[in-house]
Structure 1
Amino acid sequence: MVALVQLFVLLDATSLHMAVPSVMAALHLPADSLNLLFTGYDLAFAGLLLLGGHLADLVGRKRLLLIGLAGYAAAAAFGGLAPTAGALVCARVLQGAFAALLSPAVLALVAANFPDPKARGRAFGVYATIVAGGSTMGLFTGRWLIDTLDWRWCLFADVPLALIAVIGAATLVHDRPLRTRRRLDAPGLLLGSGGLLCLVYGFQQTGPRGWTDLLVLALLAVGAVLLLAFFLWQSRTPDALLPPYANQDPGRLGSFLTLFLTGAGTLALFPTLMTYLENVRGYSPIATTTALLPMVAAILIGATQVSARLLHRVPARNLIAPGLLLTACGLLLLTRLEPDSDYTAVVLPGMVLAGFGLGMALMPLYSLATAGIAAQDSGGGAAVTGTTDEAGAALGTAVFSSVLTAGIAARMAAAPGLPPSLAAAARSGHVISPQAAPPQLAETITTATVAGYTDALWWSAGLTLLAALATTLLIRPTTSTPPGLPGPPLPLHDPGSAH
């Protein structure tokens, strides 16, 4: 049931991306509002993620899951009925806020309710598969809904799915009652959420403003300072989001850094393959989805049939590092893409290798990041894990966009016969679409576009190799706490006790 919740949130996000042209036409959506449609969701999600994890520990994981589902469905219905662009943006912000409640509750339930090593391996294998490959299904469902019904059904479809999830969670998900007298850590939430917001928004602004812009540098600096203050505060307050014992495990800290770098490094994989197959090779949206399914199958096999079966037998590092190396090899193979590359010779082996390695690495990473955390603290552990993922994805988006834009612009600026207006646009960093150039330059633009994407893949491979290095240096061959066992619990406070 929690896997279903995680999946339909990913389906919603991807399917709405597919509906962008229809949304723009129906609501006369300008470009600025289009950016807000997704930026608002991302910022609401990032800003409330730590709060969601903290509330999961204070009010209960199952209760928060039900609240989040009801709110997400209501926001989706509001968005589907939205008469204006402003109303749709507000609905997306609300969806981001309730997704921030759902995400840590989902991961906390998996971490707390599967203590047996074998069962834990299977559970995290399914979870990692959905996180890494669930978006691909959104391509198919989004296109089907748009072609057969209307773009609004990309949002309306969340309502029956949420209803099924609520019924299932209420009847099938069991959660032990929490016995804690911790209070809301308001200062910690302000520091942590503020820092993450500054980082995410700063990374988002690197695209239009550049990395050297004063506002971007200020946002990144303030974000780093606030996050540093957050971790210092967490080591002193009795109501910490993540108790001190959880931060003293070097394996957990190593897994956080590895997750951050992995999220940044692998972000380019999905948009590169999508753009190449659909815009360069001319695949239809359904054909593109079908062509990407082998990658999802490879993720599933790596996570559930390899790592899930071996995690309780071998150290996590011996699965994470080889998985990341395989992912980097797949990314490097995809850097050989040309406008006329054969799917079975280049695309298929590259994405299968990258998908298999990613599934193999993510499963033990999520398990290690949440291992040894007592049940009453699992929400905080899930929130910090999700925050690490979100920050890594934001960095990956910034690097991917910057490298892609610079690579395409440099090649277009140097292209012979380019009209002065297009050459000036290329030098200023704008990506030129084939429709905006003379027909005789279409091949040049296509070649430059593919080269820009391969430049981004080189950076992705480098970041993934850096994640493998972090694994080797920071995650010990053996961990002090086996993956399935709870760590040192906090004292259980009885409301009637003198303590």
Structure 2
Amino acid sequence: MATAKAPGPEVTSRRWAALCFIGLAQLMIVLDGTVVNIALPSLQSDLGISDGDRQWIITAYTLAFGSLLLLGGRIADYTGRKRTFLIGLLGFAGASAFGGAASNFEMLLTARALQGGFAALLGPSALSLLTVLFARPKDRAKAFGVWGAITGAGGAIGLLAGGALTDYLDWRWCLYVNIPIALVAAVGGYGILTESRRKGRTRFDIPGVLLVTSGLVAIVYGTSRAESDGWGSAPVIGLLAAGVVLLAAFALAESRTPQPLLPMRLIASRTRGGAYLGAGLAMVGMFGAFLFMTYYLQAVKGYSPIRTGMAFLPMTTAVLVSAGGLTARLLPRLPPRALIVPGMLLVSSGMLWILTMETDTSYVEGVLVAGLLLGVGAGMIMPVAFDYATHGIDQGDAGIASASLNAAQQVGSSTGTALLNTIASSATADYLASNASQGRNPAVAGQAALEGFETAGTWAAGIILAGALIVAVLMNTPRPKRPAGDATDVAGAHDARSTGLLPARS
């Protein structure tokens, strides 16, 4: 008869080793959302891509990723989370190699769409593996602290990596860099994880897949078109309206389907609803900041790509310290809104800090302060959102719950960035028009760009503040119950065995 004292250390160490490889996969997904951004001017010139087409290098990834997430989550639940995790990793690596070797716009566009499709498999399977593997509150808080830090800091790391790779090597290495990351995560995951899947026969809700995919594609594509056509244009209004109608039809169909793609009970929970909202709006703030600060530092302050990436390091550090230290310690002790709401207030303050910046403001007084506020705030939001978005669900639904949170982030980042970029561009154009008498004065151009960033930052702050108020009212989840005694590790070992994610002892 096996005793409880032996499995604890062994299983605990294997769980944390598993987190390393799963976290690598998440880092690759988040990093790829920004690592190509700084390389856009170089690859555009190299491949002869027009200004009108360059946005598709970003949009092809977000379209495929955002629209296929729910399907990817259900595939992970029914066909096996480890299998889907490995397929997603290898597919992402292959698509990255194809994109790095691209000789024309069409090849690169196809590669980016493939990356997004495999990311839609990889993201939900990675988070669902983590959800099922760490069941006990103490270890779960630590694991989701690490996960939240990776998610919050990954975008800034992508900007830094993109600047370094573009300056010192070539833009193609912004894609090639995914290959070693994916291979290490795949080898480690293959060796340390065993299979976990939902019991029962594989069933897919094909009408639901078509409705939700079409709806998300319409919304994400509509917001991307708004950057060039304007929010009031007929194509944008038509796409957004079609997206809302399709998603409403999806919700209606899911409530009447015996085997739904997205069970309505998952999103009806006030706790999960608050987690989805918090994560989505955090991405609005973070990706809005990446956009504005990147252009401010390069176009207004004259920073090089590598120096711009370095300027985001304090924000990255703030996310890591906040998520992995402060939030991981407080998560098992406080109700979720006690962390998410202050985090959203800090993110909003970071966006408002842009109002204090002028064209001659020093880095320390401007970008550094804003970045620290944003980093600490995001680090308070993301671990809590990831934890409670998957908290208390049936393990068979872990993949679809994880996919829903990923979809909230993706829609928040893509629609938020498009909205804020359109606001900034309009404000910049208005400023230039009102100062047309000064001609092509570089000082006027810099001030015009800053005017756009400040206007959009104010809108972002207002949106996030409104979201904080909604979360404060909606997410009324009480403080977590503390585990009794010191049984966490032993019980956690048992949970890891029973899920099948770690090998059973003989």
TM-score, with length taken from structure 1: 0.88
1:261-410 to 2 correspondence within 5 Å?
A: 261-410=281-430
- The answer for the alignment partner of 2:446 in structure 1 is 446
> In the alignment, does 2:256 pair up with 1:229?
no
Cα displacement (A) at 1:446 = 0.6
SS in 2 for 1:268: helix
**Cα deviation per residue 1:276-330 (whole Å; 9 max; x = unaligned)?**
2222222222222222111111111221212211111110111111111122222
Letter in 1 for 2:474: L
- The answer for the alignment partner of 1:57 in structure 2 is 77
1:380 and 1:482 map into 2 onto residues whose CA distance is: 27
2:151 and 2:480 map into 1 onto residues whose CA distance is: 27
> In the alignment, does 2:56 pair up with 1:36?
yes
Preserved contact between residue 335 and residue 478 of structure 2 (Cα < 8 Å): yes
- The answer for the alignment partner of 2:457 in structure 1 is 457
Preserved contact between residue 161 and residue 309 of structure 2 (Cα < 8 Å): no
**Cα deviation per residue 1:121-163 (whole Å; 9 max; x = unaligned)?**
1111122122221122223322333333322222222222221
1:412 and 1:284 map into 2 onto residues whose CA distance is: 25
SS in 2 for 1:137: helix
> In the alignment, does 2:225 pair up with 1:205?
yes
- The answer for the alignment partner of 2:468 in structure 1 is 468
Q: Pick from 60, 66, 78 the counterpart of residue 98 of structure 2.
A: 78
Cα displacement (A) at 1:182 = 4.6
Higher mean C-alpha deviation, range 102-111 or range 261-270: 261-270
Preserved contact between residue 35 and residue 174 of structure 2 (Cα < 8 Å): yes
Q: Pick from 112, 122, 125 the counterpart of residue 92 of structure 1.
A: 112
1:316 and 1:121 map into 2 onto residues whose CA distance is: 12
1:220 and 1:14 map into 2 onto residues whose CA distance is: 25
Letter in 2 for 1:82: A
Cα displacement (A) at 1:170 = 0.4
2:368 and 2:170 map into 1 onto residues whose CA distance is: 32
Describe the shift of the 1:112–1:384 C-alpha distance in structure 2 as closer, same or farther (beyond 3 A): same
> In the alignment, does 2:210 pair up with 1:190?
yes
1:29 and 1:463 map into 2 onto residues whose CA distance is: 34
Letter in 1 for 2:408: T
> In the alignment, does 2:478 pair up with 1:478?
yes
Preserved contact between residue 76 and residue 197 of structure 2 (Cα < 8 Å): no
Count of aligned positions? 467
Letter in 2 for 1:287: R
Cα displacement (A) at 1:477 = 4.4
SS in 1 for 2:159: helix
> In the alignment, does 2:64 pair up with 1:8?
no
Higher mean C-alpha deviation, range 174-183 or range 249-258: 174-183
1:248 and 1:256 map into 2 onto residues whose CA distance is: 11
Q: Pick from 182, 200, 208 the counterpart of residue 180 of structure 1.
A: 200
Preserved contact between residue 285 and residue 351 of structure 2 (Cα < 8 Å): no
Higher mean C-alpha deviation, range 243-252 or range 350-359: 243-252
Cα displacement (A) at 1:13 = 3.9
**Cα deviation per residue 1:464-499 (whole Å; 9 max; x = unaligned)?**
10111111111104179999999xxxxx9xxxxxxx
Cα displacement (A) at 1:260 = 3.0
Give % identity.
39
SS in 1 for 2:185: helix
Instruction: State the Cα RMSD in Å.
Output: 2.3
Preserved contact between residue 152 and residue 379 of structure 2 (Cα < 8 Å): yes
Gaps of 5+ in 2: 1-20, 493-498, 500-506
Describe the shift of the 1:43–1:481 C-alpha distance in structure 2 as closer, same or farther (beyond 3 A): farther
Preserved contact between residue 163 and residue 309 of structure 2 (Cα < 8 Å): no
Describe the shift of the 1:226–1:68 C-alpha distance in structure 2 as closer, same or farther (beyond 3 A): same
Letter in 2 for 1:369: A
Preserved contact between residue 420 and residue 456 of structure 2 (Cα < 8 Å): yes
